[in-house]
Amino acid sequence: EAQVTQNPRYLITVTGKKLTVTCSQNMNHEYMSWYRQDPGLGLRQIYYSMNVEVTDKGDVPEGYKVSRKEKRNFPLILESPSPNQTSLYFCASSLLVGNQPQHFGDGTRLSIL
Partner 1 sequence: AQSVTQLGSHVSVSEGALVLLRCNYSSSVPPYLFWYVQYPNQGLQLLLKYTSAATLVKGINGFEAEFKKSETSFHLTKPSAHMSDAAEYFCAVSDPGNDMRFGAGTRLTVKP
CB of 43 to partner 1, least distance (A): 4
Cβ–Cβ under 8 Å, residues 55 and 68: yes
Which is nearer to partner 1, 7 or 82 (by Cβ)?
Answer: 7
Interface contacts to partner 1, rule CB under 8 A? 4, 33, 35, 40-45, 48, 58, 90, 92, 97-99, 101-102, 104-107
CB of 80 to partner 1, least distance (A): 27
10 forms beta bridges with 109
Which is nearer to partner 1, 1 or 42 (by Cβ)?
Answer: 42
Which is nearer to partner 1, 22 or 82 (by Cβ)?
Answer: 22
CB of 54 to partner 1, least distance (A): 13
